[in-house]
Amino acid sequence: MLAKKLVTAQKRGETRALCLGLGMVACSMMMYFFIGITIVPFYTKSVWTTETVCKVLKANIKDKVFCPNSEGSEDEEIFPYPCLQVWVNLTNSGQEVMLYQTEDTLERNPKCSYVPDKLENSEEVKARIEKIASNFKKYQTFPCYYDPGGTQTNVILSRLYPTKGLLFAFLWPTLMFTGGCLIIVLVKISQYVSVLSAWQ
């Protein structure tokens, strides 16, 4: 009677462990799919792939401009902010080009190097942009990214999804997939050993 209860409990444990492993594999596949349709297209679409050194030539704050948060935004989502323009010199070619914060900055407003998020306090936005401009004047030389193909003549300060970030995004689903497969393999080995012991 006791042996029968132990066998039943073992089967329940194996079933739960197998469900856990299959669930981890399914979740990891969903994460792979989500990363594949969100992050990977932005990574592959970016042409600013080569890192170089930029030297600041001038950093000026122009009059306020208006910028929507996204395409097709309503009027109330359009907010004014000071326009920071940063011009740099590429050390590898000697070109004078405009610097943007990320790829998204160029799409949102090609006239400004930095586009802030929508904030209620306009003074806070102004102070932030002035601080960024002073940092550019203080740190004259810094790494940046340019387009080696020449389709984009401007440069960006940082990529939205760099190679390390993409690898880090794939790290967690890979660990989950590996753990799920390991659990399934261990359950199958346990079942095989149980059957082998029963035959003996």
Residue with more model confidence, 65 or 147: 147
pLDDT tier at 3, thresholds 50, 70, 90: very low
Q: Is the pLDDT of residue 149 over 90?
A: no
pLDDT at 10: 61
pLDDT at 32: 93
Residue type, 45: K
pLDDT at 193: 79
Residue positions counted in the chain:
200
Q: Are 183 and 20 in contact (CB under 8 A)?
A: yes
Q: Is the pLDDT of residue 142 over 60?
A: yes
Query: Could you tell me what percentage of the chain is helix, strand and coil, using 3-state DSSP and rounding each to the nearest 5?
Result: 55, 20, 25
Q: How far is Cα 39 from Cα 34, in angstroms, rounded to an integer? A: 8
Contacts of 89 (CB under 8 A, 6+ apart): 54, 55, 56, 57, 95, 96
pLDDT at 69: 45
Q: How far is Cα 57 from Cα 40, in angstroms, rounded to an integer? A: 34
Cα end-to-end span (Å), the chain: 20
What rounded mean pLDDT belongs to the chain?
82
Neighbours of 183 (CB within 10 A): 19
**Least confident piece of the model among 77-86, 139-148, 185-194:** 77-86
Listed by start position, the domains of the chain span 1-45+164-199, 50-160
Q: Are 98 and 106 in contact (CB under 8 A)?
A: no
pLDDT at 70: 44
- The angle that helices 163-199 and 2-45 make with each other, rounded to 10 degrees, is 160
Neighbours of 127 (CB within 10 A): 11
Backbone torsions φ then ψ of 131, nearest 5 degrees: -65, -40
pLDDT at 71: 47
Which tokens sit at 72? 């097709």
CA distances from 166 to 23, 37, 163 (A): 24, 13, 5
Query: If you average pLDDT over residues 100-119, what whole number do you get?
Result: 86
Torsion, Cα of 139, 145, 148, 152 (10° steps): -100
